[in-house]
Chains A and B, each alone.
Chain A
Amino acid sequence: MYHKKECVAMLLAGGQGSRLYTLTEKTAKPAVPFGGKYRIIDFPLSNCVNSGIDTVGVLTQYQPLELNEYIGNGQAWDLDRTFGGVMVLPPYQGNKGADWYKGTANAIYQNLAFIDRYDPEYVLVLSGDHIYKMDYAAMLDFHKKKEADCTIAVLEVSLEEASRFGIMNTNDDNSVYEFEEKPKHPKSTKASMGIYIFNYKKLKQYLIDDENTEGSANDFGKNIIPNMLASGEKLFAYPFSGYWKDVGTISSLWEANMDLLGAKPVFNIHDRSWRIFSRTSAMPAQYLAPGSVTENAIISEGSEIAGTVRNSVLFHGVTVESGAVVENAVVMSGVTVKAGARVVNTIIAENTTVGAGAMIGDNQKPGDNITVLGSDLAIPAGMTIGGGLLINADKLSELV
């Protein structure tokens, strides 16, 4: 079966993630660092590998440089395969003209030739915006058992939240009879997770038809799914119960990082039966100095801690000098917090230096009013930056 794959995954990684402000100024949302040594895209990629899916197309568009470099030949995820493996798919110029990806469906449409090479029965469509662990193989089994044309993973949400999601209204056997995008008065609480399995032949036809439809938004939620329902195709909702988090906002990104902390964390990344793979380089071990205090923390290699770290997630190569306090914070790689500085309720992006004695963030209530420091900044000694401020290079030069 060398020239055939049963299931090919298409990972939509073009999102800008504009609500992450300065964190996505220079990089796409799926490349945003998470959890001490990962990037968001490590989760869907590792899920693929752990589910036995070895062919993944990664559709990029916005600021793809860092993402391309990170994925490389896919070796970190064991996706450097002779046939299959991971492939970065940017928009390209064809003989009928060039186009940016107009919508999620159009992105897949433009890469039908990629999928055709593997002659798959099924296509798994994923997004690179979520933190979760999921066995796609179990979902595929469900899809086959139901003889579905399309299966959509759904998560139970509260009735209040339901109006923020695409909601699947289902019969008792989980077949979908109606799909409502962000309904004002939701009839069900089954929210679409943006994870779809399609029978490829059906999907291809719907994508081609959709492309030929004037004025279509070329979007799965707005066009493809409603069209399939209207034509009487068999759509099923696959119930998922487990941790799933959209980290599209500063506060949800902060929360998801905090969910990793503790002896019995809300979300466990130390689970050896479902490992999350990431691309890392060899750095020496982390050093905790005689005066250091580490209470409820995640710390990565290459970090040097002489100060206090509480309820925080520290990436690799972070320095916390003596007398400095880092609390309820997410501190990305290469950051230095100088002596006596205080960082609370804050997300600091890569390679920023917080000067001695600086006071960053306010600590009235953890998770409220999160301060964000962008990458490669030098915060002057003694500077105070209050709660809820979003600081990038331009903002900082106004303040200094």
Chain B
Amino acid sequence: MSTTTGIIFSNLHDMSIADLTRRRTMASVPFGCRYRLVDFALSNMVNAGISDISVITHNNYRSLMDHLGSGKDWDLARRSGGLKILPPFITTNQGENNLYDTRLEALKNVQGFVADIKTDNVVLSDCDAICNIDLRSVIEYHTAEGADATCVVTRKTLTPDISEKYRLIYSNDSNDVTDVIAHPKKFSGEGDVLVNIWIFDRRYLQSALADASAHGYKSFTTDVILKNLGKHTIKVYHYDGYYASIDSMAGYFAVNMELLDAKTREALFKVKERPIYTKVRNSAPSKYVGGANVKNSLIADGCLIEGTVENSILFRGVHVGKGAIVKNSILFQDTQVLAGASINCVIADKNVVIRDGVILSGHPTMPFYIEKYKMI
């Protein structure tokens, strides 16, 4: 059996949802009542038997460290291997502005660490993808094909407003990558987009990194992959399960709302052999009292519901007061909607208080975002 190490990039794509990543990494963006985006990347790796996983951080990573802790919730608190956090590595003669911007630079930053990897393969994963993928099959495919690198792609219909956030991968009938179009502007139509999961042969990754360092390359796809098409075996793996990517605030809102569909919950959370793990906290069960009226909503533990909740996603410890109306909204941990308030298409960050009688509304394409600890 081949052995594999996992590397997770916690900060790439932060700018896609700038409001939510002002004080946290993409990896620690809350999602679906109780998860953080990193839970998918981590759980996918753990479920494939990978027990040596490093998370590369950039900035704002306090919330991420708080979430990950020792890694025990993913069964990654191990004496050998387990979870490691790789904080930014800044030497005195680099200056603080020399932090990486791209995946390649991030890897170059931890080149010493990568050089020490001894497993056969390395899985690289970003945190913007929400999927429950059988990585074991991907690794088996990669090994069987004798590939130097394998990327996971999925079929997606792109629209001009979001196409720039994706990488289009073209491949031939034998699944060799033939071309990559990174960040197509104003692209419209169907294509294979990169899920931002790569399997690398460890030796190839190490030599490609050394080469990139020597040449001062910046971009992973254009400099490393594109320049080596034909010279190395670079394969695509077609994934056709549920996939959603966080590419904008409207997208973030829409993907959360997709969880209200039983099919999405089944594809993400109810795969028997592949649960999605997250930090387990001690919240009491949720309580519904008096005039609670809840329709088509996902509710985390520790909530107290006395009012109306429709088509909404409530994180832990949310309180919906008497007569309050919450519709089409995402309320993060410990947010309070007091008596008689009425909100629609709102994303409220942690510990927001919406006071008695306040009326707020956004639009699905432009959800109204309220910062942490704000009182309205």
Contacts and interface: CB of A to CB of B under 8 A. Distances in A.
A269 B301 contact: no
A295 B285 CA distance: 15
Interface string A295-317: 11111110010000100011100
B33 A298 contact: no
A214 to B, nearest CB: 48
Given A75-B72, A284-B34, A288-B294, A277 B306 contact: no
B295 to A, nearest CB: 5
Interface of A: 35-37, 75, 261-263, 269-270, 275-278, 280-292, 294-301, 304, 309, 313-315
14 contacts: A37-B301, A75-B72, A277-B282, A281-B280, A282-B280, A285-B33, A285-B300, A285-B301, A286-B301, A287-B299, A289-B296, A294-B288, A297-B287, A301-B300
Contact of B289 (A289, A291, A296): A296
Contact of A282 (B260, B277, B290): B277
The 7 A-B pairs with the shortest beta carbon distances in the complex, nearest first, are A285-B33, A36-B285, A284-B269, A300-B285, A294-B288, A263-B289, A288-B294
B277 to A, nearest CB: 5
Contacts of A263: 289-290, 304, 306
A281 B284 CA distance: 13
Contact of B294 (A75, A283, A292, A301): A292
Contact of A294 (B269, B294, B296, B300): B294
A278 B284 CA distance: 9
Nearest to B289: A263
A287 B285 contact: no
Given A285-B313, A295-B292, A298-B287, 14 more contacts: A35-B285, A261-B287, A263-B290, A263-B304, A282-B278, A283-B269, A284-B32, A286-B298, A287-B298, A288-B295, A289-B295, A291-B295, A292-B295, A297-B288
B34 A290 contact: no
Contacts of A269: 284-285
A285 B284 contact: no
Contacts of A36: 284-285
A286 B299 contact: yes
B357 interface: no
Nearest to A315: B285
Most-contacted residue by chain B among A36, A263, A300, A301 (CB, 10 A): A301
B33 A284 contact: yes
A14 to B, nearest CB: 27
B7 interface: no
A269 B275 CA distance: 28
A294 B301 contact: no
Interface string B307-326: 00100011000000000000
A294 B307 CA distance: 11
B32 A285 contact: yes
